[in-house]
Amino acid sequence: MAEQNEKDSVQTTSGSGEHREKDLSIMDYSKTYGGISKRFSNVANEKMETPKPVAIGRVLIGLMAMLLIWANFQPFVQATVDGTTESVNFLSGDGILVIFFALITSIIMVFKNARKWTLLTAILTLAVIMIDLVNTMVQIKNNANGDIVYSLGYGTIFLLIGAIVMVAGAAMILVTDLKNCLLYTSPSPRDGLLS
């Protein structure tokens, strides 16, 4: 009986030693060939943490959405007649569309599966502003005469800044997501060594 217990303890010890050696060899292998364990830990961190460019992009989009809403109520075009200035805000044009696209962009940026569309909605916001701006400039040029002096208001500048920065923030999010997607889904040449 004592001999049997001694054999069991010897087998257990030798088995655990072999197991330890296997574990060590796998760890050495992963360190030597491409840091595969490091890539897996990066994937896990990606699921838990928001990448810094995505966080910055979200902040930019949120701030620019507020700026765009505010800028819609500011003077877009000003007309001066005999020293009297009157202004028109962007809501009299396509301001509602700009507010709609800005809000949609700031809402969908929060959801990981939908945030790839933020660049599209941000570009639509900029496109609406640019189309209205070009049309306004053409009308100002056509209606120019000595009695009325037309000029663009400061709301126009803030609309352009807000839309351009929003596009930049959305581009940061999309580029970061694409990089992460390519990084974690494309096979490494060294991964073939494990198969």
The set of residues, in sequence order, having a beta carbon less than 8 Å from that of 167 and lying 6+ positions away, is 119, 122, 123, 125, 126
The whole-model pTM stands at 0.64
Question: What is the per-residue pLDDT for 139?
Answer: 81
Q: Long-range contacts: 1-9, Cβ < 8 Å, 24+?
A: none
Dihedral sign for Cα atoms in the order 53, 55, 59, 65: positive
- Residue among 82, 90, 95 at smallest CA distance from 153: 90
Q: Which two tokens stand for residue 109?
A: 């940026």
Angle at 173 between CA 170 and CA 175, to 5 degrees: 105
User: Are the CB atoms for 152 and 85 separated by under 8 Å?
Assistant: no
Lowest mean pLDDT among 42-46, 144-148, 185-189: 42-46
Q: Percent of the chain scored above 70 by pLDDT? A: 67
**pLDDT value at position 26?**
45
